[in-house]
Amino acid sequence: MAIKDYIRQRYFPQMWCPGCGHGIILNALLRAVDEMGLDKNNIVMTSGIGCSARISGYVDFHSLHTLHGRALAFATGVKLSKPELTLLVPMGDGDALAIGGNHFIHAARRNIDMTAIVMNNRIYGMTGGQYSPLSGYGKKATTAPYTTIDNDFDVVNLSIAAGASFVARSTAYHVLESIDILKKAIQHKGFSVVEILSQCPTYYGRKNKEGDAVSMMEFQKNTTAKLGSKALEKDPTLIPRGIFVDVDAPEYCQEYDKIVERAMKASQNNRVDQTLTTEAGHTCPTP
């Protein structure tokens, strides 16, 4: 299918600022879905609130634009009731790891089959450039005019520690890599986290003098390196990109099915036990 068949064209041009990295992540995600040949009627995208979360309005999949930080909770509900559907959960860094941090670690711990995409622009874009748990020490934001003193999370390490069975990182600049990683993440059975470094030229870029979208993407190119590359070996201060974890682990919906089966068997056995004891006639209480 053509890429235009996966979007709601009536909502274009989209609302993001010129050069916003979130648009490139949308582009990459559409390519991944197209190349995988997924039926759009079997895809559900849930999102929370933020510039990033607006992505669910643009895709022609089933979509739920929900509450700030709660995209994974809604996705969990959808997935448990219809495990055959493919769940895509794009989130901003605030959405995923500030207000939504608890949902995030617990979804990872359960290893429920869905793809969480952290559209990390290191700031709250939608509400005017407040710093986020991913801004990092020494960065500027409207709420940190003299720089932040908070350390940032490492999304990859956090996800691994929480139990995600697929964990990867890329950037908006590395769009081919992002497409490839997204395909693998969607294919993966279990909780997949894909962090994609995105640019918010309007707030993060302006506040931190990183220039326009183009120079922020040059920055993504120059400050990251592929896992296992010579560049990373030479300069360990570079941010590593690639797939960090990809393991088979028991998936939540499948485990839940097993519990249902066990409960059914147990109740059947109970019934049999009851009938037997009733027939034998000793333990049956008088009505």
Partner 1 sequence: MARLKLKEHVINRDWCKGCGICVHFCPKKVLELDSQEKVIAVRPEDCICCKLCELRCPDLAIEVVTIQTNQEAQTDQTTRMSEDD
Ligand X SMILES: Cc1ncc(C[n+]2csc(CCOP(=O)(O)OP(=O)(O)O)c2C)c(N)n1
Give contact residues for partner 1 (rule: CB under 8 A).
2-4, 7, 12-14, 16-24, 26-28, 30-31, 34-35, 172-177, 179, 212-214, 217, 221, 225-226, 229, 231
Sheet holding 114-120, edge to edge: 62-65, 43-47, 86-92, 114-120, 191-197, 166-171, 239-246, 224-226
**Checking phi first, is residue 186 left (phi over 0); if not, alpha (psi -120 to 50) or beta?**
alpha
124 touches, from ligand SF4, ligand X, partner 1, none (C-beta below 5 to 8 Å by class): ligand X
Q: Which residue is nearest to ligand SF4 (CB)?
A: 125
**99-128 residues near ligand X, rule: CB under 6 A:** 99, 121, 123-127
What does the block give as tokens for 269? Answer: 């056995």
264 touches, from ligand X, partner 1, ligand SF4, none (C-beta below 5 to 8 Å by class): none
Q: Could you tell me the smallest distance in angstroms from the CB atom of residue 193 to partner 1?
A: 22
Count, residues near ligand X per rule CB under 6 A: 17
Query: CB-wise, 96 or 162, nearer to ligand SF4?
Result: 96
Residue window 121-160: x/- pattern of binding to ligand X, with contact defined by CB under 6 A: x-xxxxx----x----------------------------
Q: Does 25 bind ligand X (CB under 6 A)?
A: no
Question: Which residue do the tokens 């559409």 mark?
Answer: 30
State how beta strands 130-131 and 123-124 pair: antiparallel
Q: Could you tell me the smallest distance in angstroms from the CB atom of residue 186 to ligand X?
A: 21
**Amino acid, single-letter form, for residue 196:** I
Q: Do the Cβ atoms of 138 and 122 come closer than 8 Å?
A: no
Q: How many residues does the chain have?
A: 287
Q: Is 270 helix (H, G, I), strand (E, B) or coil?
A: helix
Cα atoms found within 13 Å of the Cα of residue 278, Cβ hemisphere only? 8
Q: Does 51 bind ligand X (CB under 6 A)?
A: yes
State how beta strands 114-120 and 86-92 pair: parallel
Q: Could you tell me the smallest distance in angstroms from the CB atom of residue 15 to ligand SF4?
A: 7
Query: Which residues of the chain form contacts with ligand X (CB under 6 A)?
Result: 49-52, 68, 92-95, 99, 121, 123-127, 132
